[in-house]
A = this chain, B = another copy of it.
Amino acid sequence: MKNEIKIFSPATVANVACGFDVMGFCLDAVGDEMIVKKSAQKGIRITKIEGYDLPLEAEKNVAGVAALALLEDAKPEFGFDIEIYKNIKPGSGIGSSSASASGSVYAINELLGRPYNKTQLSYFAMKGEALASGCEHADNIAPGIFGGFTLVKSIDPLEILEIPTPTELYATIVHPQIEIKTSEARAILPKDIPLQKAITQWANLGSLVHGLHTNDYELISKSLHDVVIEPYRSTLIPYFQEVKALAQKHGALGSGISGSGPSIFILSKGEDIANKVAHAAEALYSKTNLDFNIHVSKINTQGIKTLL
Contact = CB atoms under 8 A, between A and B. Distances in A.
Contact of A206 (B23, B189, B191): B23
A195 B193 CA distance: 6
A191 B196 CA distance: 8
Interface in A1-29: 18-23
A210 interface: yes
A203 B163 contact: no
26 contacts: A20-B202, A21-B199, A21-B203, A22-B203, A23-B206, A151-B203, A153-B203, A153-B204, A153-B206, A154-B200, A159-B207, A161-B210, A163-B210, A189-B195, A191-B194, A192-B192, A192-B193, A192-B195, A193-B194, A195-B228, A201-B202, A202-B205, A205-B205, A206-B209, A209-B210, A213-B213
A26 B164 CA distance: 27
Interface in A105-138: none
Contacts of A192: 192-195
A260 to B, nearest CB: 14
Given A192-B194, A206-B209, A20 B228 contact: no
B195 A19 contact: no
Contact of A198 (B208, B213, B228): B228
A223 interface: yes
Given A195-B228, A201-B198, A222 B153 contact: yes
A219 interface: yes
Contacts of A159: 207, 222
A267 to B, nearest CB: 17
A152 interface: yes
Interface in A50-98: none
A231 interface: no
A223 to B, nearest CB: 7
A166 B264 CA distance: 37
Given A161-B207, A193-B198, A228-B198, A223 B20 contact: no
A153 B228 CA distance: 16
